[in-house]
Amino acid sequence: MLRRVALISVAKRIGIPLQDLREAFADVPLDRPPSHQEWQRASRDWKRRLEERRQTIERLEAELTGCIGCGCLSLTSSPFL
């Protein structure tokens, strides 16, 4: 249970919705202590999700930096519209 509380705390701090945690750790049992394999499987899934999120943020940052640096203020070529 302490691991779950720690994960919730970290997720909240960095803006990850609780639903994402719920999905990632859905297969980790609540009615008994999870096995090492169960934690490893859930951790791998969580790491994959975090990596996808990181890549999405990096792409957004690159697009936004390019858009701000462009200075054209074009409504037709902006990737955000």
- pTM exceeds 0.85, yes or no: no
Give the list of residues 6+ apart from residue 67 with CB closer than 8 angstroms, or none.
78, 79, 80
Q: What is the per-residue pLDDT across 11-47, written as a single tens digit (0 to 9) for each?
A: 889 888 889 888 888 888 989 988 999 989 988 988 9
3-state secondary structure of 6: helix
The domain segmentation of the chain, as residue ranges, is 2-68
pLDDT of residue 1: 77
Distance CA 52, CA 73 (A): 30
In our burial notation (b when 16+ CB lie closer than 10 A, e otherwise), range 7-27 reads beeebeeeebeeeebeebbee
Query: Token match 């720690």: residue?
Result: 6
**pLDDT tens-place string over residues 48-81:** 988 999 999 998 888 887 766 666 666 566 655 5
